[in-house]
Chains A and B, each alone.
Chain A
Amino acid sequence: MKKTLLIIIGLIVLGIAPIVIRSPFFVHLMIMVLMWTVLGASWNILGGYAGQVSFGHATFLGAGAYTTMILYLKCGVDPWYGIFLGGLVAMVISLPIGFICFRLRGPYFSLSTLAVAEIVRLVALNWESLTAGPVGLLITTLPGVSFLGQPINWESKVPFYYIIAIITLIALIMTYIVSRTRVGAYLLALREDIDSAESIGINTVKARVVALALSAFLAGIAGGFYAMYLRYVDPDAVFSIGLSVEMLFIAIVGGLATVGGPLIGAIVLVTLGESFREHFLSGHLIFYGFFMMVAIRYMPDGVWGRLNVLFKKLRLKKDVNHGTA
């Protein structure tokens, strides 16, 4: 009961936030938080639930971003379908990657994802007829769309906010469904022990491919959104290793294999990143790195995991007090 109430309050806050607080910077910050929540959720399905640590998730983000961009510029496909097509293309690309990388286990798998991500980045950099290479792709105007009879003003950030809010909800609901069903249980089994998982009848290759495909779909959608929001993509903006690592951090700091973890991780890391940037200017990454070290040392289960432990303790205390009174 309490949980549903919290979720409803959360949804209302999410819905009215950009109306109440009109600062464009704040809305931008919220958009970034939500976008990174989707990316963290994407990484979390593969890395958190299935325990397959990927260092190359920018591949799927980039695939989504370029797909949406190219479809719009060259084929005139409306970006709001393009974003979902971007997710689908990322999913399709993930299949051969999974086929190659899942032959390897543990750290070898992680290294292979890093290698694949670099290959994809170099392809994007050199396939100039499709991607315009290092110059990148730029869009100046987004197509006119009207909502409830009102034309949408793309110069304002608010419409972008609502779009990414919907995508975030999809990502969180997807994670929730995964965590509640047989698929999610199978992913946890893979994370714990692949041999045992096989011995109780789990097709571990198939389960890993499914996890990767779901994960890639979410990253691709976030990528498509990213491209439309910035109106610009180039290989370094969407295929860089930095992005892959950021996704991993958000999922880990938030709390692996939890539904809400990526949201918490994104709130903490995006706002912290921004405020460090503002206060420390060029040295901000030093503080960011220092924070990461502290977080991983003292909260190995992530902020969400830590909060859960605290809540449990509080509840126990309450029960004890109740008993004596």
Chain B
Amino acid sequence: MALLDVQGLTKCFGGLKAVSDLSFQVNEGEILGLIGPNGAGKTTVFSLITGFIPANQGKILLEGKDIAGLKPYSIAHKGMARTFQIVKPFRKLTVLENVSLAAFLRHSARKDAEAQARRVLERVELIDKAEAYASDLTLSEQKRLEIARALATNPKVLLLDEPMGGLNPTEVDHASILVRDICKSGVTIVWVEHVLKAIMNSCHRVIVIHHGEKIADMPPEEVVTNPVVIEAYLGKKANSYKKGEPIC
């Protein structure tokens, strides 16, 4: 049984079908990449799965139990955590306080929550900044803080929404290592990303979405040569020019 099983997920905004009849499975222990051109509906999928916006149709099974219609906080309780594409730290709180707040989900005593937070900060290499205010961090640090906060809730599935967006190549490599490391520690990851290089190097499997529909579900090395995917990204002409050539 898949850890996360999405069946027939559909969401309309007025007349626009942002996500239509999308189904996919996430297996335990894998890193699943979710890519697609701008406006393909990737972030919407995340918001639907985590309960931030209600779906029009479809089932979302986490460990076999339907979580569609639940509020975001109860989905977090059930073991699914997300990060935000546009970082949303608790700006006027310190890094440690940010992460401790998340750790409170599994620990009711402040001391235990802080200990858990410190462990997580150690892992994402932010422990030196524990006492700094979240608003004083660089973007790369704020992205890591997002991940740390999600990790502190002790999730089974972690949904990363463009953790590499706006980072320079060195930072991207660094963050990729972190994501792989988190996966190795037993957290299943679904990863939306525009930086394709990072996805290709780290994911076990990639799903491509275009206009809210799934157009490919295959290992990363096949995705880059898949004509349908190339067409979605670069248009028809590009496909005829570069048949069989990888797009990155």
Chain A residues with a Cβ under 8 A of chain B:
180-182, 185-186, 188-189, 192-193, 195-204
Contact = CB atoms under 8 A, between A and B. Distances in A.
Interface in B76-116: 76-77, 81-82, 84, 88-93, 97, 100-102, 104-105, 108, 110, 113
B153 A201 contact: yes
Contact of B88 (A181, A186, A195, A202): A195
Contacts, number: 73
A82 to B, nearest CB: 35
A181 B110 CA distance: 7
17 contacts: A182-B104, A185-B101, A186-B104, A188-B97, A192-B90, A192-B93, A193-B90, A193-B91, A195-B84, A196-B84, A198-B52, A198-B71, A199-B72, A199-B81, A199-B84, A200-B153, A201-B105
Contacts of B90: 188-189, 192-193, 196
B73 A202 contact: yes
Given A185-B101, A189-B101, A203 B71 contact: yes
A200 B50 CA distance: 11
B150 interface: yes
Contacts of B76: 198-201
A196 B50 CA distance: 12
Contacts of B113: 182
| Residue from B50, B77, B102 with most neighbouring chain A CB atoms (10 Å) | B102
The prevalent SS among residues of A at the interface is helix
Contacts of B72: 195, 198-199
Contacts of B104: 182, 185-186
B210 interface: no
B33 to A, nearest CB: 21
A185 B100 contact: yes
A192 B91 contact: yes
A193 B77 CA distance: 19
A81 to B, nearest CB: 33
Contact of A188 (B77, B93, B110, B152): B93
Interface in B45-94: 50, 52, 71-74, 76-77, 81-82, 84, 88-93
Nearest to A188: B93
Given A180-B110, A182-B108, A185-B100, A199 B91 contact: no
B205 interface: no
B71 A200 contact: no
B149 interface: yes
B13 to A, nearest CB: 18
Nearest to A201: B76
Contacts of A199: 50, 52, 72, 76, 81-82, 84, 150
Contact of B52 (A182, A188, A192, A195): A195
B77 A200 contact: no
A203 B84 contact: no
A209 B152 CA distance: 25
Nearest to B152: A200
